[in-house]
Amino acid sequence: MTRRRRDEAPPAAVPPFDAAFRALLPSLLGQTTQFRGARDQAQRARRAVLSQSGTFVGHRPYARGDDLRRLDWAAYARTGALFTKQLEEEERRTAAVLLDLSASLLVGAVPRRLAMLRLAAVVGGLALAHLDGLVVVAPGAGPQALANFTGIGQLAALLQHLEALPVATAGPEQAVELLLRRGLPGRVHWLGDFAVPAAHELPLAALRRRGVGVTAWLPTLPADREPPRSGYLRFVDPETQREVQVPVDGPFAAALAHELELLARQQDQLFAQAGAPLVRWPATIATSGQAAAWTPVLAELAR
């Protein structure tokens, strides 16, 4: 169910990457010289010479965007299927973005989904500029559920891919299953609202057991901390579009505020136990046309 005030208009269909954001993005990517997981330039130069370096650790199915030099033609001759050689060092120089596509992110004067997709563009762009690869995992998106990108030259392709993602319902366990099938990245950036914290417990534990670092990003709305104290709330089932309007009085507002505080504590506890930072950031940052507004986000990415 999504929550919206009675007098609040439905979220406008704002393009996730309008002209203003596309003009701002290069400036954001150019501001940050450090990106968590990146190696120094000397190591990158050495990899350019030793492009086949790294310890062989197995195979994974070929995915669009993989380096064709990594294809195992002997395996293809045996099986008729394309496999990519998985190198330990190669995998650790990539980053992954895990996206929640659920309808619950459509709510808000600045929809969380809009904020999430723009943050994914920033994180992904930095990974393309500073690392050797990016994988985008979007469970529930069918053929678009897993995509690989390499090099800053694929930034436009990344934006096109993110913009085409549908609204879909899928559990966090599906996201982690897709990611582990693809291969372990250096770091995972998980973007969503984490509305059901318990559903993320086992997937986060699976990543931690494999030594994968996770940063969770939750775009926040003013109503997350200060719910309305009067008027009406409109609850909408995102699947059936059935709705109910509930009047807000003092006791109801207090109970709602208590539930929101409880949810926040559960989210904090979940990620603390998983050893993963949870970054709450205002969704309004995503609609600012000023690069300075993104400074806290870029600083977090550089840690």
| 301 DSSP 8-state letter | H
Local structure of 135: helix, strand or coil: strand
pLDDT at 40: 36
Categorise residue 299: left if φ over 0, alpha if ψ from -120 to 50, beta otherwise. Answer: alpha
Structural domain boundaries of the chain? 2-39+93-302, 43-91
- pLDDT (tens digit per residue) in 22-54: 999 999 998 765 666 554 333 443 443 334 445
Q: Tokens in use for 160? A: 């096109």
**Rounded CA separation 224/195 (Å):** 11
Rg from Cα positions in the chain: 21
Residue 202: in which H helix or E strand, if any? helix 201-209
Q: How far is CA 151 from the centre of its chain?
A: 19
**Rounded CA separation 68/48 (Å):** 16
Residue 236: in which H helix or E strand, if any? strand 232-236
**β-bridge partners, 210:** none
What homologous superfamily is domain 2-39+93-302 in, according to CATH? Answer: von Willebrand factor, type A domain (3.40.50.410)
Q: Tokens in use for 158? A: 């990344």
Write out the chain's pLDDT in tens, 303 residues: 344 443 343 344 468 999 999 999 999 998 765 666 554 333 443 443 334 445 555 666 776 656 777 788 888 888 888 887 765 444 457 899 999 999 889 877 889 999 999 999 999 999 999 888 899 999 999 999 999 999 999 999 999 999 999 999 899 999 999 998 888 788 999 999 999 999 999 999 999 988 899 999 999 988 887 777 777 666 666 567 677 777 777 887 788 788 889 999 999 999 999 999 999 999 999 999 999 999 999 999 987
